[in-house]
Amino acid sequence: MSASTMTALALFPHLSPDPMAGMEMPTPFGWAAAVAMWWVMMVAMMTPSVTPLILLYARVLRHRRGEASSIALAPPIYVAAGYLAVWLAFSLVAATIQLVVLRSGFLSSTTLWSSSAVFSAGVLALAGLYQLSPLKSACLAHCRGPAEFLAHHWRPGRIGALMIGVRHGAYCVGCCWMLMALLFVGGVMNLVWIAALAILVLIEKLAPAGPVVSRASGFVLLAWAVATLIV
């Protein structure tokens, strides 16, 4: 895939010409390559937003090292490993959906962006509705409060640290899974869409106005869905 294709910016990708149409694309790794691609993207996109939790966990460890030696401590890498393991599970599901959608003809087999106005509008509308849902708000609240999260979910030892990461990862997946589905519209390997979603996730989780931006993005996505059907 050319650099111009990977950085193409289009509000309505289904109207964009496929610069690689007619080319036969080899797929030597198939599903396994798709899983690896999704997981690398998720690691790059989500690690910045989990950094406050990991840093806070490390700070708590420094304070607790002076307490009784019977307290089992585990380095922050276990929290990170648990968190990224959840996103690996998400990547397994996303890669499977990608292959199903590819076979249905809704995605371009060369650029991996949407080739159907109805498909694009459906994903945009579902993402918009989810951004406005109580479940999204609840998951986002957990992601935005690392101190409260650690206070409620702290567990000692390596398994405990892993589970802290797993639980936090589960809330983050619950917060962001429909945003990640937007990659099926703009292109699974489109660097501009990936960067835009990563910035939106960071704003939602770290900015003071994150919840407001989250809800506002829901209305934008719904309007975008309607526009996609009209153009």
Strand partners, 107: 114
% of the chain at pLDDT higher than 90: 65
Please give the C-alpha separations between residue 189 and each of 30, 86, 110, 182, 203, in angstroms, as whole numbers: 15, 21, 10, 12, 22
Tell me how crowded residue 210 is: count the other CB atoms within 10 A of its CB: 18
What's the confidence (pLDDT) of residue 90? 97
What's the confidence (pLDDT) of residue 74? 84
What's the confidence (pLDDT) of residue 65? 67
Is residue 228 within 8 Å of residue 117, measured between CB atoms?
A: yes
**Does residue 156 register a pLDDT over 90?**
no
**Does residue 85 register a pLDDT over 80?**
yes
Most distant CA atoms of the chain, gap in Å: 68
Helices (H), 21-68: 31-64
What's the confidence (pLDDT) of residue 26? 44
What's the confidence (pLDDT) of residue 70? 45
- Bigger pLDDT: 5 vs 42: 42
Q: Tell me the per-residue pLDDT of 90-134, one tens digit each, with 9 for 90 and over.
A: 999 999 999 999 989 898 877 788 889 999 999 999 999 999 999
**Buried-exposed string 148-168: b where 16+ CB fall within 10 A, e elsewhere:** ebbeebeeeebebbbbbbbbb
Half-sphere exposure of 40 (CA within 13 A, CB side): 9
Average pLDDT over residues 205-216: 95
Please state, rounded to an integer, the average pLDDT across all residues of the chain. Answer: 87
Check residue 113 and report its DSSP letter: S
Nearest Cα residue to 11 out of 165, 217, 191, 185: 185
Tokens of 94: 């996303």
Nearest Cα residue to 183 out of 81, 98, 74: 98
**Does residue 224 register a pLDDT over 80?**
yes
Full-prediction pTM beyond 0.85?
yes
Average pLDDT over residues 15-21: 60
Average pLDDT over residues 142-165: 91
